[in-house]
């Protein structure tokens, strides 16, 4: 339950970052794209096909997320921007790192539970 709650909070943080009009302008100008966070099924009741598909979705998300981090990092380091704009990009960067960590943690919990259930 805690993992699901944590991922919900993280998704909200990403959505709020994307809704900030100034961040949206900065991200659009730099070509940054915010990836969609994959849905991780509960191990209980999940099929092998769902778990395999989810693993692929998570790998794709992590790759897209790393591209976003590089993009946000370049905005945060752009000394031609205001300090506020740079901080906005840095906050979005930190929120995306938190997203990555939460997705990985939640996936590991569900994957482990799924594999343990398969052994029984």
- pLDDT for res 18: 56
- pLDDT for res 120: 79
Domain count, the chain: 1
Task: Report residues of the chain scoring pLDDT below 50.
Answer: 1-13, 15-16
- pLDDT for res 16: 45
Q: What is the DSSP string of 66-79?
A: HHHHHHHHHHHT-T
- pLDDT for res 3: 38
Using an 8 Å Cβ cutoff, are 33 and 18 in contact? no
- pLDDT for res 8: 44
> How big is the chain by its Cα radius of gyration, in Å?
16
Give the integer Cα–Cα distance in Å for 22 and 86. Answer: 11
- pLDDT for res 1: 34
Give the integer Cα–Cα distance in Å for 33 and 105. Answer: 23
- pLDDT for res 62: 98
Domain that holds residue 87: 2-119
């Amino acid at each position: 339950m805690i993992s699901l709650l944590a991922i919900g909070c993280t998704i909200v943080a990403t959505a709020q970052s994307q809704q900030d009009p100034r961040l949206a302008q900065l991200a659009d100008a730099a070509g940054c794209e915010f990836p969609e966070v994959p849905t991780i099924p509960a191990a209980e009741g999940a099929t092998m096909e769902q778990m395999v598909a989810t693993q692929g979705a998570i790998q794709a998300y992590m790759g897209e997320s790393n591209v976003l981090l590089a993009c946000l990092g370049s905005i945060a380091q752009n000394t031609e921007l205001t300090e506020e704009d740079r901080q906005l990009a840095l906050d979005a960067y930190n929120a995306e790192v938190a997203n990555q960590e939460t997705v990985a943690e939640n996936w590991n919990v569900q994957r482990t539970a799924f594999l343990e259930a398969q052994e029984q």
